[in-house]
Chains A and B, each alone.
Chain A
Amino acid sequence: MIVSNMSKDELMKDIMAHDFKLYDLQLYLNTHPSDENALCMYQNLVNDTDELKDEYEEKYGPLTACSAAGDCEWKWIKNPWPWDKGGN
């Protein structure tokens, strides 16, 4: 795992940017399923995004419930939630 020096907010913003690119490419690939450049870009982005999410979850808490049960503590319910101030 590449550990960056980003703050919580910076890391979240970077994850959002990566997820946004991924989703936009997903919609593009749905109508252009044989665009090899886009396929390659998509796969590279998946790998980068996974690394960023691993780092975020390690430092600041779970993004999905699957990664919320570590250290014998149910971290999923912890504030802030995304709609709260400071939660996104």
Chain B
Amino acid sequence: MWEYEKKLQYPINIKKPDPQMAKFIISQYGGPDGELAASLRYLSQKFSMPTEITKATLNDIGTEELAHLEMVGTLVSQLTKGVSPEEIKAAGLGDYYTDHGISVYPQSAAGNPFTAAYIQVKGDPRTDLYEDMAAEQKARSTYEYLIDLADDPDVIDVLKYLRQREVVHFQRFGEALRTVEEKLADKKFYMNNMINQPNKDCGCNKPKTKDCGCNKQ
């Protein structure tokens, strides 16, 4: 379960509305490499993670992504606060305004609505962790492109923070992946589990009586 804390993870106070920048940034809300996809991916993959380290890592990074989702929504909301329909239209947001007014809807910069097809949950820890590391890199690239497009230092400051978290998450997923690969590389010992199940009378576990005769030549 989760408990809400009435604060953001990092302060956001945008003084200058910029609806065009909001149109770009919304991709990190509901776009292909956005925070909704990230949190949904990790919080769904956690159920098939095999070890303590991988369960904790998926659960807690997925949780942090929810805090980032709120931050990106806050950016979009504050960048469009008090903007007139004319300014919205001039910024290329007329289509968005038609369907959603001034609000925060999970879509990509190009207007595609959010879809779970952005993510995969494969049930194979190695496969999922490789996907997660790629996802963090894709999100880092997106934040860098957004920083290229932005000119307001208040916006850039928040984008830089979010970009940096992708780098840290990539690192942690890499460490979790290494523990899985080390485990898979361990020398394997196969045990006949019948030995530990005395109720299953296969006969092989019975103490040999000295004079059963079966050992006699």
Contacts and interface: CB of A to CB of B under 8 A. Distances in A.
A85 B81 contact: yes
Interface of A: 12-13, 15-16, 19-20, 23-24, 26-28, 30-33, 61-65, 76, 81-83, 85-86, 88
Nearest to B61: A27
Contacts of A13: 11
Nearest to A19: B9
Contacts of A82: 6-8, 70, 74
Interface stretch (B29-37, B117-125, B172-180, B184-192): B172-180
A62 B5 CA distance: 9
B216 to A, nearest CB: 55
A20 to B, nearest CB: 7
A33 B57 CA distance: 12
A16 B53 contact: no
Nearest to B104: A83
Interface residues of B, number: 31
Contacts of B81: 85
Nearest to A23: B64
A63 B7 contact: yes
B78 A31 contact: no
Given A31-B53, A63-B5, A63-B6, A12 B175 contact: no
A31 B57 contact: yes
Nearest to B55: A30
A29 to B, nearest CB: 9
Contact of B3 (A24, A30, A64): A64
Given A27-B168, A83-B77, 8 more contacts: A16-B9, A19-B7, A30-B176, A31-B53, A63-B5, A82-B8, A85-B81, A88-B13
B177 to A, nearest CB: 10
29 contacts: A12-B7, A12-B11, A16-B7, A16-B9, A19-B9, A23-B64, A26-B60, A27-B61, A27-B169, A30-B57, A30-B60, A30-B172, A30-B176, A31-B57, A31-B172, A64-B4, A64-B6, A65-B4, A82-B6, A82-B8, A82-B74, A85-B13, A85-B78, A85-B81, A86-B13, A88-B7, A88-B11, A88-B12, A88-B13
Contacts of B176: 30-31
A14 B125 CA distance: 37
A76 to B, nearest CB: 8
Given A16-B11, A27-B61, A27-B168, A81 B6 contact: yes
Nearest to A27: B172
Those 8 A-B pairs whose CB atoms lie nearest each other, nearest first: A31-B175, A30-B56, A83-B74, A88-B8, A82-B8, A30-B57, A27-B172, A88-B11
